[in-house]
Amino acid sequence: MSEVAGSPPAAARVPDPAEVVVRIRGLGKAFRGHLGIGRTVAVDGLDLEVRRGEIFGLLGPNGAGKTTTLKMLLGLVRPDRGEVLLFGLPPSDPRARARLGYLPENPYFYDHLTAAEFLDFYARLRGIPADERRVRVPRALERVGLGDRAGTPLRKLSKGMTQRLGLAQAIGHDPELVILDEPMSGLDPVGRREVRDRILELREAGRTVFFSSHILQDAEMICDRVAILDRGRLRWEGALRDLVSRNVRWFEVEVVGALPPDVPCERVSREGERHLVQVADVGRLARLIDAVQRAGGQVVSVWPRRETLEDLFLRELGRPPGRAEGPR
Amino acid sequence: MSAPAPARVPPPWAAIVAIGLNTFREAIRDRILYLLLVFALVVIGASRLLSLLTVGSEDKIIKDLGLSAISIFGVMTAGFMGVSLVFKEIERRTVYTLLANPVRRWQFVTGKFAGLLSVLVLNVTLMYAALAVLLWIRGEQPLALAPAVLLTGVELAVVTAFALLFSSLTNPILAAVWTFAVYVTGHLVWSVRLLGERLPPGFARGTCEALYWLLPNLDRMNVRAEVVHGIALPDGFLAVSALYGASYTVVVLALASLALERKDFA
């Protein structure tokens, strides 16, 4: 008999935004080298929590330990130390894995199957009855724009199509938690946009998304919180909105006309009557606007420059490894 | 915001059936299977020609060659396909998405085994059917060969289980070598006991005795000579041999599951 995984019935379950969906405590993993010689630390004392309904980005350069972390989360790799809990259960428990969907990095699937057979296989693995599969599989293909590719063998699909099919496999059973390993890697801008849209749709539907990426612009666009990992250690963790709202570092102002000499600003560039200047804070910005108006000039645009995720990323990676900083 | 669908933990057989069907599908879409099958059918057909070289025992030659072809090509199919069963899943990283589902590793091993065994059963049935037609045309009773074919099926189950175990531990080339070694020693296990009996009591003799009991006695599943020459099998021999083979298969599959359970898919 099928059973419903370790939770109250759906009707009674009210999604709680404070509920911790993924809990990682003191996680560590090292791999032995070839013939058992040498030892590479992949993850070192990682602590993380992902809450229900958020998009959480695990960021870091190649080799930072992102994929190993995700694999420990899925029970594919056993931690040397520490603990991973999904919905309060260890990943080895099928009840935990029944509630998630996963897309690996650069997915490669069974090329002897067609797109529809592929999704049907994963639906069978989850014990979805045949009549339900007949409805779900075409719907999942439609959802990722592959409705007309049901009978196409996987070996004939492009990389972007394969990625979309992989995403359909990961979300086709409507999981509560979706784990994506570098979902935008290797895709063209259209493909990246499609994947981003799907992830945002998942959040709209109240699902939790935990994904790894080294493409910072994508992460910045969609993540609620991020963690930066480097050489297996957590370097920064926090909400992106804190980062964006708190860290306005300077203003870029475009001025047409004469530039008053008495305002403390730094000119970046000049093209005829147009000046692009930087001012450090709001007070100086007000003084600049006032002075420009008095001199008969015109302020064309004011652009608050915040610290971007990339700035933070590069700054954190430039520091020697130590304790994780940032809002927790 | 919508409530997620209640997550189902499927019954254990669901994953086994799904993986088994996928393995079956993969195998029957593999050209190697057809190459081996066609070659086996050609050999069975050619046994009629070879029988012409003998005087008075044509039917025995056809039966002997036919049954040997079923066994040899069955073992080759089990070996060729079995040794890459798990390795290919790891190499192509398809195992990541598979085991991220509510699938236990023993279910993965069992499903893979069931899928390949289904292919082998189909294969053996086709080869047996070809041989039966050949014998039927000559007015012989093909059902008399059924015990030998049945035990060949049991032997293939043991060989497939070993191929799966080695495929979980190493690359296909080494797995093929080890599987072949098990197949050969499995048919020569009587000689290990014979050697032990000729040794003085002690460590060497004990080792021979232990090996005799540990190694699979595949010769127990070879009754081709008996059925070809119409020699009656002892009472219960068929059932005990089948039970022995099935038990051995379960133990080897358990070892394969254990090997995978401890494996990191890094």
* Secondary structure string (H, E, C) spanning B134-192: HHHHCCCCHHHHHHHHHHHHHHHHHHHHHHHHHHHHCCHHHHHHHHHHHHHHHHCHHHH
For residue A267, the distance in angstroms to the closest alpha carbon of chain B comes to 48
Of residues A209 and A2, more confidently modeled: A209
Which is more confidently placed, B4 or A85?
A85
Task: Categorize the per-residue pLDDT at A239 as very low, low, confident or very high, splitting at 50, 70 and 90.
Answer: confident
pLDDT in tens, B90-144: 888 899 999 999 999 999 999 999 999 999 999 999 999 988 988 888 888 888 8
Q: How many degrees, rounded to 5, is the angle at CA A144 between CA A141 and CA A150? A: 30
- The chain-wide mean pLDDT, for chain A, equals 85
A286 SS3 class: helix
Q: Is A75 on the interface with B (CB under 8 A)?
A: yes
Percent pLDDT > 90 in chain A is: 45
Chain-centre distance of CA B110, in angstroms?
14
Contacts of B21 in chain A (CB under 8 A): 121, 124
Distance in angstroms (rounded) separating the CA atoms of residues B157 and B166: 14
Q: Which residues of B touch A107 (CB under 8 A)?
A: 93, 97
Residues from chain A contacting residue B93 (CB–CB below 8 Å):
104, 107-108
The pLDDT confidence band at residue B62, using thresholds 50, 70 and 90, is: confident
The strand pairing partners of A50, in sequence order, are A22
| pLDDT, tens digit, 9 for 90 and up, residues B47-56 | 777 777 777 6
B-chain residues near A132 (CB < 8 A): none
pLDDT score recorded for residue B230:
87
Contacts of A9 in chain B (CB under 8 A): 6
- Reference B15, options B99, B94, B103, B96; nearest CA is B103
Give the residue-averaged pLDDT of A249-263: 83
pLDDT on residue A5 = 47
**In chain B, which residues have their Cβ closer than 8 Å to the Cβ of A155?**
none
Q: What is the pLDDT of residue B4?
A: 63
**How far is it, in rounded angstroms, from Cα A321 to Cα A221?**
27
pLDDT at A310 over 80: no
pLDDT confidence of residue A17: 57
Tokens of B182: 């098990």
Contact A126 B101 (CB under 8 A): yes
Range of lowest pLDDT (A120-134, B5-19, B146-160, B195-209): B5-19
Q: Which residues of A touch B108 (CB under 8 A)?
A: none
What is d(CA B76, CA B120) in angstroms, rounded to the nearest whole number? 10
pLDDT for the residue B218 = 94
Write the DSSP string, B79-93. HHHHTTHHHHHHHTT
Instruction: Provide ipTM, 2 decimals.
Output: 0.85
Task: Give the helix/strand (H/E) hosting B96.
Answer: helix B94-99
Residues of B in contact with A125 (CB under 8 A): 10, 14-15, 18-19, 98, 101-103
Angle between the N-to-C axes of helices B12-28 and A115-125, in degrees from 0 to 180, rounded to the nearest 10: 150
Is A117 touching B (CB cutoff 8 A)?
yes
Does residue A96 contact residue A86 with C-beta atoms inside 8 Å? yes
Give yes or no for a contact between B236 and B145, defined as CB atoms under 8 angstroms apart.
Answer: no
Residues of B in contact with A11 (CB under 8 A): 3
pLDDT at A9 over 50: no
Shortest alpha-carbon distance between residue B97 and chain A (Å)? 6
- Contact assessment for residue A115 and residue A109, using Cβ atoms and an 8 Å cutoff: no
DSSP helix/strand/coil, A325: strand
pLDDT band at A97 (very low <50, low <70, confident <90, very high): very high
Q: Which residue of A has its CA nearest to B25?
A: A112
pLDDT digits 0-9 by tens, A146-192: 999 999 999 999 888 898 899 999 998 889 999 999 998 878 888 88
Cβ contact A202:A209 at 8 Å: yes
User: With bands split at pLDDT 50, 70 and 90, how would you rate the model's confidence at A10?
Assistant: very low
Q: Are B80 and B163 contacting, i.e. CB atoms less than 8 angstroms apart?
A: no
pLDDT at A304: 83
Q: How many CB atoms lie within 10 A of CB B96?
A: 23
Q: What integer pLDDT is reported at residue A52 of this predicted model?
A: 93
What pLDDT score does A319 carry? 62
B26 touches chain A (CB under 8 A): yes
CA angle A142/A143/A144 to nearest 5° reads 90
B14 pLDDT above the threshold of 50? yes
Return the H-helix or E-strand segment holding A48.
strand A39-51
Of B42, B33, B224, B222, give the one whose Cα is nearest residue B134.
Answer: B42
- Region B36-62: mean pLDDT is 79
Chain A contact present for B260, CB below 8 A: no
Which of B22, B105, B110 to probe the A interface (max A CBs under 10 A)?
Answer: B22
Contact present, A108 and A187 (Cβ < 8 Å):
no
Please report residues of A whose CB lies closer than 8 A to that of B29.
112
Looking at per-residue pLDDT, the higher value among B16 and A312 belongs to B16
Closest in A5, A117, A122 to B7, CB measured: A5
Q: Taking residues B208-227, what's their average pLDDT? A: 92
- Reply yes or no on whether the pLDDT at A262 is more than 90: no
pLDDT at A320 over 60: no
Flag if A4 and B17 touch (Cβ within 8 Å). no
Q: Tell me, what's the pLDDT at A246?
A: 60
A166 neighbourhood in chain B, CB within 8 Å: 97
What is the Cα–Cα distance from B12 to A274, expressed in whole angstroms? 72
Residue B17 · residue A129 · CB < 8 Å: no
Predicted confidence (pLDDT) at residue A326 exceeds the cutoff of 60 = no
**pLDDT above 80: residue A315:** no
- Residue A39's contacts (CB-CB under 8 Å, 6 or more residues apart) are A30, A31, A32, A33
Question: Pick from A7, A104, A175: which is nearest to B93 by CB?
Answer: A104
> Model confidence at B22, in pLDDT bands (50, 70, 90)?
very high
Residue B38 zone, left/alpha/beta (φ > 0; ψ -120 to 50; rest): alpha
Please indicate whether, in this complex, the C-beta atoms of A94 and B5 are within 8 angstroms of each other: no
Locate the chain A residue with the closest alpha carbon to B107: A125
Interchain proximity A126–B2, CB inside 8 Å: no
Using the Cβ of A135 and the Cβ atoms of chain B, whether some distance falls under 8 Å is answered with no
* Pick from B3, B93, B264: CB nearest A15: B3
Q: Which of B4, B94, B265 sits opposite A110 (nearest CB)?
A: B94
Non-local (6+) Cβ contacts of B41 within 8 A are B126, B127, B130
User: Which of B30, B85, B97 has the most A C-beta neighbours within 10 Å, making it the best mutation to test the interface with A?
Assistant: B97
Rounded to the nearest integer, the mean pLDDT of chain B is 90
Most confident of A109-113, A285-289, B11-15, B153-157: B153-157
pLDDT (average), residues B192-213: 90
Give me the mean pLDDT over the B87-91 stretch: 88
- What gap in Å lies between CA B264 and CA A12, rounded to an integer? 37
What's the token pair of residue A303?
């652009």
CA–CA min distance A319, chain B (Å): 28
Q: What percent of chain A has pLDDT over 70?
A: 90
A293 touches chain B (CB under 8 A): no
Contact A127 B22 (CB under 8 A): no
Nearest CA in chain B to A205: B1
Rounded to a whole number of angstroms, the distance from the CA of A137 to the nearest CA of chain B is: 15
Residue A90 has pLDDT above 90, yes or no: yes
**Percent of residues, chain B, with pLDDT higher than 90:** 55
pLDDT of A12 > 50? The answer is: no
Phi, psi (degrees; rounded to nearest 5) at B55 = -115, 125
Q: Does B101 touch chain A (CB under 8 A)?
A: yes
Helix then strand then coil, in percent of chain B rounded to 5, is 80, 0, 20
Question: Is the Cβ pair B25, A117 closer than 8 Å?
Answer: yes
> Which residues in A lie closer than 8 A to residue B25 (C-beta atoms)?
112-113, 117
B31 touches chain A (CB under 8 A): no
Q: Which of A102-111, A281-290, A317-326 has the lowest mean pLDDT?
A: A317-326
Query: Taking CB atoms and an 8 Å cutoff, what residues of chain A touch B10?
Result: 2, 98, 125-127
Please work out, in degrees rounded to the nearest 5, the angle formed at the alpha carbon of residue A52 by the alpha carbons of A47 and A57: 55
What per-residue confidence (pLDDT) applies to B5?
63
* Higher per-residue confidence, B121 vs B62: B121
Q: Is the pLDDT of residue B172 over 50?
A: yes
pLDDT-derived band of residue A323, with 50, 70 and 90 as boundaries?
very low
